[in-house]
Chain A
Amino acid sequence: DAGITQSPRHKVTETGTPVTLRCHQTENHRYMYWYRQDPGHGLRLIHYSYGVKDTDKGEVSDGYSVSRSKTEDFLLTLESATSSQTSVYFCAMSGGAGQPQHFGDGTRLSIL
């Protein structure tokens, strides 16, 4: 979706290092989400935001934190990366009130 971009698209890092992934949207949507996608588990929600500075945990939030200081940006941080956090991470946005979510193209993160 052209209205939502993720950076970086690929990253390789070492265990114990901090990592921040960025999601940027140009649609002025209220809701933003971070998912991880792993074989056998499908897409699982990590954290979500329902407005600037308003965030909440999803089903797999341990080891992750998020921040949303502006409507357009939603950051996902791994404070101290572990090998179990190797995954493909997707960001999504929604205008709310029953509107569907639209996804970015993902970040492939490898933690060695």
Chain B
Amino acid sequence: GQQLNQSPQSMFIQEGEDVSMNCTSSSIFNTWLWYKQDPGEGPVLLIALYKAGELTSNGRLTAQFGITRKDSFLNISASIPSDVGIYFCAGQEVQGAQKLVFGQGTRLTINP
């Protein structure tokens, strides 16, 4: 099935550093979503983007919907230990059943 190209697959950073990850697709989406998953839990929605070019923040998180509608990035500023987890991007169909296409995830590890 279709999958988004998410990079990097993993990141090892020091506490306090900024983080950047991105997703690209060969298809156009009208909605981009970013989720975070902690061990033993389901993905939790961080940011939803609905318009090409849109830049949205949620605390230390900032995400942008690419102008071409084929890509998106997520930045985390001044990382803290609770940012550890797996981050997923997802493109959502607007028509029909609102199905999601997921990236493979970015595993973030933070050294204190």
Contacts and interface: CB of A to CB of B under 8 A. Distances in A.
Interface of A: 1, 31, 33, 40, 42-45, 48, 50, 56, 58-60, 90, 92, 94, 96-106
Contact of A56 (B30, B40, B97): B97
Contact of B103 (A1, A42, A59, A102): A42
Contact of A42 (B3, B30, B45, B50): B3
Nearest to B47: A100
A106 B41 contact: yes
A3 B98 CA distance: 19
Interface of B: 1, 3, 30-31, 33, 35, 40-45, 48, 50, 88, 90, 92, 94, 96-100, 102-105
A98 B97 CA distance: 10
Nearest to B2: A59
A105 B37 CA distance: 10
Interface of B is mostly: loop
A40 to B, nearest CB: 8
Contacts of A92: 42
23 contacts: A31-B98, A40-B104, A42-B3, A43-B88, A43-B100, A43-B102, A44-B1, A45-B99, A48-B97, A48-B99, A50-B96, A56-B97, A92-B42, A96-B98, A97-B98, A98-B50, A100-B31, A100-B48, A101-B98, A102-B45, A105-B42, A106-B40, A106-B41
Contacts of B44: 1, 103
B98 A90 contact: no
A45 B100 contact: yes
A103 B92 contact: no
Contacts of A31: 97-98
